[in-house]
Structure 1
Amino acid sequence: MQKKPLLKIEASSASNLVFRLAGIFFILCLLFTLHRYYSFYASFDQGIFNQVFWNNLHGRFFQSSLSSSLSTNVVHAGEIPTVYYHRLGQHFTPALLLWLPIYALFPSPATLTVLQVTLITAAGLVLYILARQYLKPSLAIMITASFYAANAVIGPTLSNFHDISQIPLFVFTLLLAMEKRRWWLFWLMAILILAVREDAGVGLFGVGVYMVLSKRFPRAGIGVCILSFGYMLALTNLIMPLFSKDISQRFMLERFGQYAEGEEASTLEIIWGMISNPVRLLVELVTPIDRTIKYLLGQWLPLAFVPAVAPASWMIAGFPLLKLFLGKGESVLAITIRYALTVVPGLFYGAILWWSQHQQKFTPSFRRFWVGCICVSLFFSFASNPNRTFYFLIPDSVNPWVYVSLPRQWQHVEQMRPLLAQIPQDASVSATTYIVPHLSSRREILRLPVLELRNDAKQVIQVDYAIADLWQLQKYQAAFKSDRRLLQDLTKLIDQVSNNREYGIIGFRDGVILLKKAANSDTQATAAWLQFRQQLQLKKQLAT
């Protein structure tokens, strides 16, 4: 007679514990990500998504001058960035419109940061409900704790806002709807997953394969596979090219150019390139071996390596993993950036199903091992300093020493804000990477050293203002070649446009320079700039 009340108490206590775990994750991630934004460490992608949301709010759907600067027309053909460029040619992301009402209430780049943390936190709660369909509360808690401690979850959550942050919530909800046979919700989630971005169907295809191979829902699974694969092919070959040629001339080649010939390739051509050369496919799949193994171990670690032996994990997560392993570039095997999130749902669902058949293995000794794995995962999540979130605790480089203390960075921010306040809200502007997000709620914005864009009248203009954080580049140039090159390029650019009076130097504070088109240079600001420039030259001479 007492068993049922005890079970209810256990379930109730478990739910309270899960909410506490979610609350801790939410508060800490929100604290660190907002601090990252307000201390000017959020970077270019945060600006891109904020400008997209801002343009959406003003009826210019998915347009972005910042995205235009990354388009194939600009990067490869040398054209001028445009304000009316449609980002849907790069990434097809209509699901972002779901969150436009929230952005309309709080139109700020910080809103996107809050939204991202909220989406990931909510995904963990849905995961717990999903785990409870099969597992007792103690195991479901461990699964949820593993999610919130996973490096592949923490890293992307602490990054700039990105569209993939929607994937865990949508996929966990889809799987929960499948378990409860709520097919209207299942198909709604399937559509939303496809709407996240053009390659989100890869993960959905994995779900369909599981539904077929497990023989649980074979007919629905076939439908999911046809829907996801057909949608991706139609989208990337027919719809996205209507907006721009980026998918064939840039993104396919940057990620999968080793399977194609020529200067452009469609998804069909890439797939055929893979199929027609199986040896190259196999080599790309397993190399580099050390990084591939390290990536898998990092994904499995918070779940005590159970996904490695869970068939369902391989069925579902295998396809997103295949997409990453077959691609090229440093980012595909980086566990702290957004692409790692696409693998997470399949791994965790597969672990749930494995434990449902092996609950007797959840012994006190294995529980201690699992807790140890979670702790190690948390340690690596912190030590990897994802997206420089913990820049004030962990140096970016030891030899040479590169470190910015918290008081010094906030002192720098306070010096920068008066210069930002001088830029009118409707003015066109070009800024360095970490300033871009804070100025991105406008129609005309670029990243330095670019100064020209094509406006709505289709006229090429120079931006009204340019602002550069040279102090930040100066701090990091010792360890990062890209920062050193950019600092040199910007120094030459500032000398050029100020000497020929295209722009006047109207402000200089703590290594941050503000220029205005066709303005007379301020005497004190110019003197401060020349002194700073002299210091740069002296340090360069000492270094050589």
Structure 2
Amino acid sequence: MKINILPNSNKPSSKIVLLWIICFSIVIFTLQTWRIFSLNATYDQGLFLQEIWNTLQGRPFESTLASELSSPVKFEGELPELGYRHLAQHFTPLLAIWAPLVGLIGIWSLPFIQVAVIASAGWVLFLLGKEYLPEQLAGWIACSFFTTGTVLGPSLENFHDLCIIPLLVFSLILGISREQKLLYFIPALLLPLVREDVGLMTFSIGIWMVFRKPNWRVWGIGLCIYALTAVLIITNQIMPLFGSELSTRFIQERFGQYLNGETGGTIDVLISMAKQPGLLLKELISPIGSTVRLFVTLFLPLAFIPLLSIDVWFLIAVPLFVALSSQGGNAMSVHLRFMLYLVPGVFAGSIFWWSKKHHLFQVKRYQSIWKICMVIGIFFTLTGNPHRSLSVIIPDSIDPWVHIPIHKQLIRGVNAQNLFSLIPPDSSVAAETHLIPQLSERRILLRFPENYMYKDLNGKRKEVDYIISQPAYNADYSSAFRHHRIWVLRSNQTLEKLVNSKAYGVYYCDPYSIILRKDLQSLAKDKKCMATQLKKTMRKSLQ
């Protein structure tokens, strides 16, 4: 019996696309929940949960975890501040719509949201395809959406604010295709509210409308004006009200090479680029290897058709320029969230190319090549183990060998649940990165060993009530990953210092975990347990 996993002429394509969406949702949600339970999720998962949870409690966008990433903390040695708002780093007001769901299902709400909006984007892409193409071809494009590393990677990543971009962009273009103004206006208005730099991508859509959609040319000009105005107002007027992070940290990290060490905003960067065309050209084409890998990963699942589409190049022009002109590896990393700036333009633009050449789809040899491209895309994505989502079967490192088997990951997940039950829900906590996602529904949470002190609303220095450490967790990875080795050394030194100074006492200790409590007198057996664990993990991390 032949099983058709791609749409064909003998069966409604919608059913197969829905099957792909269901399978994608189940698999990705399962992997996401496993990442959180088995302690493979990391900092951003907790940061966004704390931010949205605080919004639900009447403290919009407040986050002590975000405060740890602020310029005063990172560059001036200041303590994290209670009351700090993440809006200083990223303007993400649209996140507030998820607050009720966080209130209903807690830590599991974020993976549910991320999977749901990306899966829904695939369905809207299918509807968009049907506006211009035979249903079977539209189905193939929609299925290809779920095979690309630039979708699978961001879907498996920690929760992020960009996950809603494909749904909004596909809905906007669907509104244009159907001549439905409301369907166009809602996503057009919301896009710049996803994050401050999403307005640049929206500007690119407006340019596409001006040159490729004559009936929408005036609306395209309006969208360009709205998007550019939103970016300039948000980055130059609104975000500085909450902090200086945009100019002193994020602009420097991504575009500091143009500013020669000076601080500046969006306009300053553009002026500096114009004054240094040689440097700009160099940044756009180098490093060659990363640039080629980016294009291959983007275009492979669609059998490289996007390379031929003028619509694709218009839709991705501005976000692609931003990615190529940035410094650092994140903007070019094909498994990170930033790819979602490019993905909608690649897939929607391909639909417009096929609308004039859909007869070529009937060539069986081409269909075979397309299938091979999809398989290759999935294969390289999964074997790359994005975000440690498949660490139960794929080693985290081969040389030296680091692989935590599934039973050990299950045990450490269960142990972590027992650990969390010992911490009062309203207490302030400092915990290591892998523990943060499951502790974030509290107002005061810091990353240990980086911080265990903070400033309260009056500016007074305070220590957290509890410190949670699992030296053995980081020691398991220390042979292959330097940052884990550093965490072991710093955690152990800080734990010893705090207990020896009697600022904290050992509240709980077992072979896996240590909890310190402020102003507690340690029992001899607990101090001995901690000393034994620290000695063991220190020895392992130095091997």
CA distance in 1, matches of 2:264, 2:147: 39
Structure 1 runs, 4 residues or longer, greater than 3 Å off: 9-12, 536-541
- 1:70 is aligned to 69
Q: What's the RMSD between the two structures over aligned residues? A: 1.4
Q: 1:263 to 1:72 in 2, by over 3 A?
A: farther
State the Cα distance separating 1:103 from its structure 2 match: 2.2
Mark the runs of 5 or more structure 2 residues left unpaired by the alignment.
1-7
Q: Which amino acid in the other structure matches residue 394 of structure 1? A: I
State the Cα distance separating 1:11 from its structure 2 match: 9.7
CA distance in 1, matches of 2:259, 2:153: 32
CA distance in 2, matches of 1:249, 1:391: 36
Aligned partner of residue 12 in structure 2, secondary structure? helix
State the Cα distance separating 1:540 from its structure 2 match: 5.6
Check conservation: 1:165, 1:341, Cα contact below 8 A: yes
Check conservation: 1:415, 1:510, Cα contact below 8 A: no
Aligned identity (percent) is 35
Q: Which amino acid in the other structure matches residue 162 of structure 1? A: H
- 1:193 is aligned to 191
CA distance in 1, matches of 2:39, 2:108: 12
State the Cα distance separating 1:12 from its structure 2 match: 7.2
- 2:530 is aligned to 529
Check conservation: 1:324, 1:332, Cα contact below 8 A: yes
Matches within 5 A, 1:379-418: 379-418=379-418
State the Cα distance separating 1:460 from its structure 2 match: 1.4
TM-score (norm 2): 0.96
Aligned partner of residue 302 in structure 1, secondary structure? helix
Check conservation: 2:299, 2:306, Cα contact below 8 A: yes
State the Cα distance separating 1:146 from its structure 2 match: 0.6
Aligned partner of residue 438 in structure 2, secondary structure? helix
- 1:162 is aligned to 160
Q: 1:456 to 1:269 in 2, by over 3 A?
A: same
Aligned partner of residue 398 in structure 1, secondary structure? coil
State the Cα distance separating 1:376 from its structure 2 match: 0.7
Matches within 5 A, 1:474-489: 474-489=475-490
State the Cα distance separating 1:215 from its structure 2 match: 4.5
CA distance in 2, matches of 1:84, 1:194: 25
Check conservation: 1:64, 1:87, Cα contact below 8 A: yes
State the Cα distance separating 1:261 from its structure 2 match: 3.0
Aligned partner of residue 133 in structure 1, secondary structure? helix
Q: Which amino acid in the other structure matches residue 44 of structure 2? A: D
- 1:3 is aligned to none
Aligned partner of residue 149 in structure 1, secondary structure? coil
505-514 vs 129-138, which moves further? 505-514
113-122 vs 69-78, which moves further? 69-78
Q: Can you list the C-alpha shifts for 1:149-171, whole angstroms capped at 9, x where unaligned?
A: 11100011011110000100000
- 2:135 is aligned to 137
Q: Which amino acid in the other structure matches residue 27 of structure 2? A: L
282-291 vs 511-520, which moves further? 511-520
Q: Can you list the C-alpha shifts for 1:127-175, whole angstroms capped at 9, x where unaligned?
A: 0000000110111111011101111000110111100001000000000
Q: Which amino acid in the other structure matches residue 130 of structure 1? A: L
Q: 1:538 to 1:157 in 2, by over 3 A?
A: closer
Q: Can you list the C-alpha shifts for 1:162-220, whole angstroms capped at 9, x where unaligned?
A: 00001000000000001111122212211111110000112111111111111522211
Q: 1:537 to 1:247 in 2, by over 3 A?
A: closer
State the Cα distance separating 1:105 from its structure 2 match: 2.4
Matches within 5 A, 1:195-234: 195-216=193-214, 217-234=216-233
CA distance in 2, matches of 1:11, 1:260: 59
Mark the runs of 5 or more structure 1 residues left unpaired by the alignment.
1-8
Aligned partner of residue 467 in structure 1, secondary structure? strand
Check conservation: 1:416, 1:510, Cα contact below 8 A: no
CA distance in 1, matches of 2:143, 2:416: 40
- 2:513 is aligned to 512
- 1:464 is aligned to 465
Q: Can you list the C-alpha shifts for 1:468-490, whole angstroms capped at 9, x where unaligned?
A: 12111101110111111111111
Q: Which amino acid in the other structure matches residue 13 of structure 1? A: P
Note if 1:338 corresponds to 2:371: no
Q: Which amino acid in the other structure matches residue 151 of structure 1? A: G
Aligned partner of residue 435 in structure 1, secondary structure? helix
Aligned partner of residue 76 in structure 2, secondary structure? coil
Check conservation: 1:11, 1:137, Cα contact below 8 A: no
CA distance in 1, matches of 2:303, 2:470: 44
Aligned partner of residue 357 in structure 1, secondary structure? coil
